[in-house]
Structure 1
Amino acid sequence: MVKRAEAPKLDSAKAARVYKEFPGYERSTFIDIMKAGGQPDDFPGLDFGPVLKTLPFRKIADFHVSREKRGDRGMIPCAMCGPKEKFLEGSFVWIESRQSIALIGHCCADKENQRRAEEEYLERMERTRAEDFLLTCLPLTKTALAAIDQALTAAVEAERIKGAFSRKFPAAVQALKAVIKSGGMLGHTEKTKDQFDEVGPRGLGRLNTRTVTIGHLFGASALGSGFHPAKDLRVARSRIVALLCEESPEAALELITSSYASADELKKAAKLLLAAGKEYKHSLRLLQEFRAFFSEYNIVTINEWAGHPLSDHRFSFEYRRHANGVRISGIEAGAFDTLHLEGSVLGAPPEWPLAPTMNAE
């Protein structure tokens, strides 16, 4: 973690503030000034040079400004160029040998110093993003674990119901999978014959077809071989358990400083949380497909499609709500069977409580 340096003092000889340590904390102030419509050279205490191009420096922030927003000011003065009004895209930097902060253009510094500063800046920003992400998300890991456990209960039950449906009504499942392969529209094709023309050979006619559409089949993924919502949830749960933290920023800070000393360890921990979020959301999409397939609209539409006069299917379904959930009754090949869907599998699990990405300013 970057510690805040001592308060800068004004050096009247250079008319610039003195920073004995790297002032990374000034990044947020600089960005706030820019967001409020200010200009980079509005920042107080800048060293306007001249500064030797060969002096090493560390980046605090990159920036780009619009020429139109500069008004009558012209280009931004570069501390390494005289100073001269030279650029619109550059960096806010700390020059250790001068103990000062300055603005320089992207192409104004010594190339080797520029390369080193860029590498150090990118590595530092990655670490900062990981730290900020973990500080925000670690206190929510208990909430995330509770959400996973709730979703996992529903997922295990959904997989059981999907398996029972396939065993009890195999002909219906086979017919519906054929519908999925052809686009998911529940309908039938009817053949019609044109009236004979007065001119032409008697007895000849032309066969046409028309499609009778019943409705769209929803929740197709619930019948697929890839329907395993519990699998991803178990993996996500193991990731969260490994990073479980007390519900306070102080506990998160303590965990970060005690367990993730290096940037690589910080990034690894952050990636585990991000992966858990993706796995959770993938499982939620599968459960949403499950609820769509076993919805009243879908079951009634399937039943209407199977029982249509043009249908050659021999199965039917009935959808009934009761106090504890839903009962779906079906007849296939003369055999009657039922499925019971309890309330836990019909409700949507909580949304994922953690941030989906490691964004930075």
Structure 2
Amino acid sequence: MNKNEPFEIIHTFAVDRKKRPEGDYIPCPMCQRREKFLEGSFVFIFNRQCIAVIGHDCASAEVKHAAFSKKKQDDERRHQEDFLMARLTHVPSMLRELEALKPIATEIEGIFHDFRKDAPTIHRALRQVRKAGGEYVLTEMVDNEAAEFDPRLPKKLARNSYFGSMRGDTLVGASCKFLTEVRRYEQWLLSFDGCDDEEKAMEATIGLLQRKEAAKAVRYIGEAARRMDKLRRAMSAACFFFADTHIEDMKEWARDRLQPHPFTVDRHVRNDGISLAFSRVTGKDEEREYARLFLSNALAEWADANRVAPKLEN
């Protein structure tokens, strides 16, 4: 054999030298060296119509580059085939799930917009909590008694009071676009719908490979699956803004003597869901902000079933 003979890589490998009978290296037929390598490849040599074992750097650079490029393409095609055959049959159910998420996304966005529109000052105050890390904290400056004995020490110290962690912070963000996300993932998947059995998945896979659209399909289907899971968890988490323990923490924070923008919040459990009432007097004319938010039982049950937080207490 010579270094310029073209070949196709079947499989690459690495050998632990300690497991070699004599602790030696593997001889290479291409280099005609008795001991040459521990990392190599099984290859098919076209001219000789045979399989050989060669070292990882024994072929000429051009031949080796061509062989590894071909193997990379083959591996990628095999990955695409395996992925599409396994996942195309899931697309119809993913689209059904996205359709089911639309009314849920619409309801959560409605809560967000009602809150932001009817109680903008309270919404901004809570948005600042979210930006600061999601902890209900109030700070006051207190006298540093130690400064009486050491003039180098500051006369005042900051003392923080903690009231718990925010839940469902999506409802106090700058925007809430769950429905837009649902529709985006739906558009990604619609082109690959219709494969409800393996035979149809095989036909679709062959067509996608022939049209050189397989890589796009793998990317869109895989990304949609990952983002749908993240979206579902985010939508569930938003509902825990209404949780009893969260509202109690917020209530204490909102009415504390250190609160620069005090407001009230009341939680009521009704037969049809959970209601929150936010109220605050603002400005010199003592204008009143008032927002009533409502979480239906159906949405609360969905959030509990997909929860990433403690249960919503009714």
TM superposition score category, shorter chain reference: 0.7 to 0.9
Tell me, yes or no, if the aligned pair for 2:92 and 2:196 is still in contact at 8 Å.
yes
Listed as ranges, the gaps of 5+ residues in structure 1 are 1-50, 200-205, 352-361
Residue among 270, 280, 295 paired with 1:332:
280
Match of 1:238 among 181, 187, 190: 187
Describe the shift of the 1:71–1:309 C-alpha distance in structure 2 as closer, same or farther (beyond 3 A): farther
Shift of 1:162: 0.6
Give the secondary-structure state (helix, strand or coil) at the position aligned to 1:81.
coil
Distance 1:61 1:320, change over 3 A: farther
The 1:65/1:175 distance shift into structure 2, 3 A limit, reads: same
Map Cα deviations across residues 32-61 of structure 1 (whole Å, 9 max, x no partner).
Answer: xxxxxxxxxxxxxxxxxxx33332111112
Q: Note if 1:53 corresponds to 2:3.
A: yes
Q: 1:208-357 to 2 correspondence within 5 Å? A: 208-262=157-211, 264-333=212-281, 337-346=291-300, 347-348=302-303
Q: Can you give the 5+ residue segments of structure 2 that lack an aligned partner in the other structure?
A: 150-154, 282-287, 308-314
Counterparts of 1:161 and 1:280, CA distance in 2: 21
Change (3 A) 1:69 1:166: farther
Distance 1:209 1:256, change over 3 A: closer
Would you say how many aligned residue pairs link Structure 1 and Structure 2?
295
For the residues of structure 1 that align with 2:163 and 2:84, how far apart are their CA atoms? 51
- Structure 2 CA distance for aligned equivalents of residues 97 and 196 of structure 1: 89
2:13 match: 63
1:97 alignment partner, SS class: coil
TM-aligned CA distance change 1:250 to 1:85, over 3 Å? farther
1:159 to 103, 109, 120: 109
Is the contact made by 1:222 and 1:286 (CA closer than 8 Å) also made in structure 2? no
Change (3 A) 1:226 1:70: farther
Question: Measured at CA, do residues 265 and 314 of structure 1 come closer, stay the same or move farther in structure 2, by a change above 3 Å?
Answer: same
Indicate the residue corresponding to 1:19 in structure 2: none
User: Conserved in 2, the CA contact under 8 Å of 1:230 and 1:283?
Assistant: no
- State the one-letter code of the partner of 2:273: G
Aligned counterpart, 2:94: 144
Find the residue that maps to 1:284 and give its secondary structure. helix
Q: Note the C-alpha offset of 1:140.
A: 0.8
Matching residue's letter, 1:149: E
Q: Cα RMSD between the aligned structures?
A: 3.0
Q: Deviations over 1:151-203 (max 9, x none)?
A: 3332221111111111222221121122233333212233444679999xxxx
Alignment check: 8 A CA contact 1:188 1:211 kept: yes
Match 2:46 to one of 79, 90, 96 = 96
Could you list the per-position Cα deviations for residues 110-164 of structure 1 after superposition, in whole angstroms to 9, with x for gaps in the alignment?
3221121111111121111111111111011112112222333322211111111
Q: Quick check: 1:233–1:279 contact (8 Å CA) kept in 2?
A: no
| Structure-1 residue corresponding to 2:130 | 180
2:312 equivalent in structure 1? none
Matched, 1:126 2:76: yes
Change (3 A) 1:350 1:261: farther
TM-score normalized with structure 1 length = 0.72
TM-score by length of structure 2 reads 0.82
Write the deviation string for residues 303-327 of structure 1: whole angstroms up to 9, x where unpaired. 1111223334342112233444322
Q: 1:85 to 1:336 in 2, by over 3 A?
A: same
Q: CA deviation at 1:289?
A: 4.1
The equivalent residue for 1:356 is none
How far is 1:216 from its partner?
2.1
**Contact 1:91-1:106 at 8 Å conserved across structures:** yes
Residue 152 of structure 2 corresponds to which residue in structure 1? none
**Aligned amino acid, residue 341 of structure 1:** L
